[in-house]
Structure 1
Amino acid sequence: MSVFAKASASRSARAAWTGIAIAGVSALLLTACSSGAPAPAETDDPAETAGDALPIAEGERDLALKLGTILPQSGALAFLGPPEEAGVQLGADDVNAVSDSGLGVEVVFRDSGDTTTDTATVSVTDLLSQDVSAIIGAASSGVSKTVIDQIVAAGVIQFSPANTSADFTEYNDNDLYWRTAPSDVLQGEVLGNLIAEDGHATLGMIVLNDSYGTGLAQFTKDAFEAAGGEVVAEALFNEGDSSFDAQISEVTAANPDAIALITFDQAQIITPALVGSGYPGDQLYFVDGNLSDYSADFAPGLVAGSKGTLPGLDVGTLGDFTDRLLEVDPDLADYSYAAESYDAVVLLALAAYAANSTDGVEIAKYLRQVSGGSGEGEKVSTYEEGIALLAEGQQIDYDGPSGPVTFDEHGDPTEATIGIYEYNDDNTYSRIGDG
């Protein structure tokens, strides 16, 4: 099935897996309030709170939009950096290719590192000194938490293509934090029910101890246990740990039917050690933080038959999008979050055009509108189509390669799909369905 999970802010989340289309899943799946997160800042402007469409001025533009990135060139998510940066560059190229649009984009690429370093803070400080309107990134929710206050306090948009922690949904971000990736409430439900549907009654989990890992683990546990399963072991580790023997021993001692690895690139160490200890490689489950091509890392067949989840559409359905990404970076081996990164650039450019401004606060006022979250605009699928209508003062609803984003009042996408993947004999992975 290839359907989108729809959200409605007044409903509560489903507890059981239906095994079929998940259209109609409640907003708690995509816009659930995070525990302990501060409430969003209130505003007296009803147009910003009620989702009313703001007016769009007709006529030409003369705008120079400067964007920065904090995407992982190093650290535990470095494998996600190349596809994300390629997506950003392709988005900028497509905007700049419309030479008569009256808007040009410049991108300054910087590293986010991971939570073991202060790389992201250094990068953000540098980008803010260059007067960027928005910063795309980070990929890691934990890294974003270290810089979000600094970014939004400067009146700059933070736009992540890959943050999935539910904590951001109601974060006090002055309406300046946005993302094209869905909350882990949805991925956790899909993963937990997938494991149950595969016939496993007990589950062990090895989990990165940060907002991403523990949040996704909890949503997975909730779904798995609601489907009748039992989580019998949950072992945590910290970013920067290099030995996982204690966690492996703790989980395997409980003899679970399946083990979910909710990690980043630590899976490169944990997986061979798990299988080496005697645990079957086809009973492992991976997530977006570690679903990767392991053909060059693992012995043939090590994880054949294991499965994993990853937000986003099947790249095989995206026409020439992946071919165009390869023109930007011929060495790409993974496309995770490339489409979400591309759409971040295009949505920012469309919102800047609609606002006729490169001020971050003004751009943010129009992001929901150009995504179709308000305004009841006409569907468009390219930047060029969008600005043609915006120049006439018309409303638009942009759908890009990552899908129909449609932001809600929290800056979360209200429509998303989670891909289900299975590992092949050569330790590459193939999409086998959508959840």
Structure 2
Amino acid sequence: MSGFIRSRAGKAIGGIAAVGISALFLAGCTGTGGGGDASEPADDQPREELTLKVGTALPQTGNLAFLGPPEEAGVAYAVSQINEVSDTTGLTIDPVYGDSGDTDNKAYETEIPRLLGEDVSAIIGAASSGTSLQFIDQVVGAGVIQFSPANTSDQFTTYDDNGLYFRTAPSDVLQGEVLGNLIAEDGAQTLGMIVLNDSYGTGLAKYVTEAFEAAGGEVVAAPTYNTGDTTFDAQISEVLAADPDAIALITFEEITTILPSLFGQFDASKLYFVDGNLSNFGDEFPAGSLTGAKGTLPGLSIDSIGDFTDALDEFVASEGIEPLTEYSYAAESFDATILLALASLAANSTDPADIAAKLIEVSGGEGDGEKCTTYAECAEIIVGGGVADYDGVSGPITFNEVGDPTEASIGIYQFGEDNTYSAYEG
């Protein structure tokens, strides 16, 4: 592969890192990513009545289970909007929900065959990069699209995926740059990390380290642990013994076991979280335990997409679903579902290869579409014979030829006295 990352250093503005959030550009890689040359239907070809089956392999269980509710709600909300206008578009989505689990409980070993047996055209998931890597070959080998709303490992950029893998979350190259620079800008000269030993954890730790060291800092300890581990005393002791100015916790839900051992031994305002563990802990810990701690999360600031989260809350209530307490990757899951439907509509087909060949187009990756921001608006353009360019709730998206979004934002958040986070205004 030949490629480059182009970004501009920037400061945090209203909770969003301004480059370090910039745009992420990836040059072409042969043999990888979402693309294809399926033939387009002739202009005079009648439009088909389409029923698009989409499966989900999102974390109902495992060490990212806290992300399951917002992600599944995002999918379900998109399905409701798509099916609401099916009488004018001719396309209906039939969702099949499933559990990805994690690499410890391995729920995917039974769930992925079940979903493929349902003859789905695409599977949305997993949230965890490490989990997705366990079944991507099985999915794309079956000729089915895998579309993750939350995978951030850089491994997917060059993965040999038969042109059938896409994601609405950016690579950790960007989050690592933002987090490493944030820690340095906050005045830390030495950094300790506790790192999940999988493609997500070690990859993100690598880019945090590169950014922090480029800013003049030194990583003094970075012990790892494995999925399924339940005690972390050795890792905590190693990091504290190095006496760092700051600690970055690159973990999943194991954070709830790690944090109590840090309380009282390390200044909470010098702790840094990542998307895998940024959560509204509330009364799970004593009030004020996390005051001042910061974290990063790919996507537009949750505070800036309040209209979407309010509408999502109303939808969840109308469906009798338990109210959401987290919104991480809900917008990315919503957008993934909308994009799959638009690509199916543009291809006039539910064949995965045909859909994959249109995903770049409907995201605006070919640069010749008409901007639109809702499914109904974009579908009207497509049905009318035009080319739609969907700008989503999570951002412009705009896929490149390897199925990665070319523009992305990283939100920066800070915990208050109630152990919940909001956009950082520093």
Q: CA deviation at 1:172?
A: 0.2
Q: Structure 1 411/97 Cα, relative in aligned 2: closer, same or farther at 3 Å?
A: same
Name the structure 2 match of 1:229: 217
Q: CA deviation at 1:302?
A: 0.7
Partner AA of 1:297 in structure 2: E
Name the structure 2 match of 1:429: 421
Distance in 1 between residues matched to 2:130 and 2:178, nearest whole Å: 22
Q: Does 2:22 correspond to 1:41?
A: no
Q: Structure 1 332/229 Cα, relative in aligned 2: closer, same or farther at 3 Å?
A: same
Partner AA of 1:317 in structure 2: S
Name the structure 2 match of 1:332: 324
Q: Structure 1 186/377 Cα, relative in aligned 2: closer, same or farther at 3 Å?
A: same
Name the structure 2 match of 1:62: 49
Name the structure 2 match of 1:135: 123
Tell me the alpha carbon deviations over residues 44-76 of structure 1, each in whole angstroms, 9 at most, x when there is no partner. xxx948xx9967746533000000000000110
Structure 2 SS opposite 1:305: coil
Name the structure 1 match of 2:342: 350
Structure 2 SS opposite 1:416: coil
- Name which of 141, 147, 158 aligns with 1:153: 141
**1:249-288 pair list within 5 angstroms:** 249-276=237-264, 278-288=265-275
Structure 1 SS opposite 2:222: strand
Partner AA of 1:213 in structure 2: G
- Name which of 117, 139, 162 aligns with 2:105: 117
Structure 1 SS opposite 2:139: helix
Partner AA of 1:255 in structure 2: D
Contact (CA 8 Å) 1:244, 1:270: kept in 2 or not?
yes
Distance in 2 between residues matched to 1:425 and 1:42, nearest whole Å: 46
- Name which of 354, 360, 364 aligns with 1:368: 360
Tell me the alpha carbon deviations over residues 220-240 of structure 1, each in whole angstroms, 9 at most, x when there is no partner. 000000011110110100000
**1:3-402 pair list within 5 angstroms:** 11-13=4-6, 17-19=9-11, 21-22=18-19, 27=24, 31=26, 40-41=30-31, 48=36, 57=43, 60-100=47-87, 101-276=89-264, 278-326=265-313, 327-328=315-316, 329-402=321-394
Q: CA deviation at 1:321?
A: 1.6
Distance in 2 between residues matched to 1:314 and 1:102, nearest whole Å: 34
Q: Structure 1 315/407 Cα, relative in aligned 2: closer, same or farther at 3 Å?
A: same
Contact (CA 8 Å) 2:22, 2:407: kept in 1 or not?
no
Structure 2 SS opposite 1:325: helix
Distance in 2 between residues matched to 1:393 and 1:206, nearest whole Å: 52
Q: Structure 1 433/372 Cα, relative in aligned 2: closer, same or farther at 3 Å?
A: farther
Q: Structure 1 413/12 Cα, relative in aligned 2: closer, same or farther at 3 Å?
A: closer
Q: Structure 1 223/331 Cα, relative in aligned 2: closer, same or farther at 3 Å?
A: same
Contact (CA 8 Å) 1:40, 1:171: kept in 2 or not?
no
Partner AA of 2:270 in structure 1: Q
Q: Structure 1 268/23 Cα, relative in aligned 2: closer, same or farther at 3 Å?
A: closer
Distance in 1 between residues matched to 2:336 and 2:3, nearest whole Å: 27
Gaps of 5+ in 2: 13-17
* More displaced 10-residue stretch of structure 1: 210-219 or 92-101: 92-101
Distance in 1 between residues matched to 2:40 and 2:50, nearest whole Å: 19
Distance in 1 between residues matched to 2:76 and 2:125, nearest whole Å: 14
Structure 2 SS opposite 1:76: coil
Structure 1 SS opposite 2:266: coil
Q: Structure 1 81/321 Cα, relative in aligned 2: closer, same or farther at 3 Å?
A: same
Q: Structure 1 299/315 Cα, relative in aligned 2: closer, same or farther at 3 Å?
A: same
**Alignment RMSD:** 2.3
Partner AA of 1:425 in structure 2: E
Q: CA deviation at 1:427?
A: 0.3
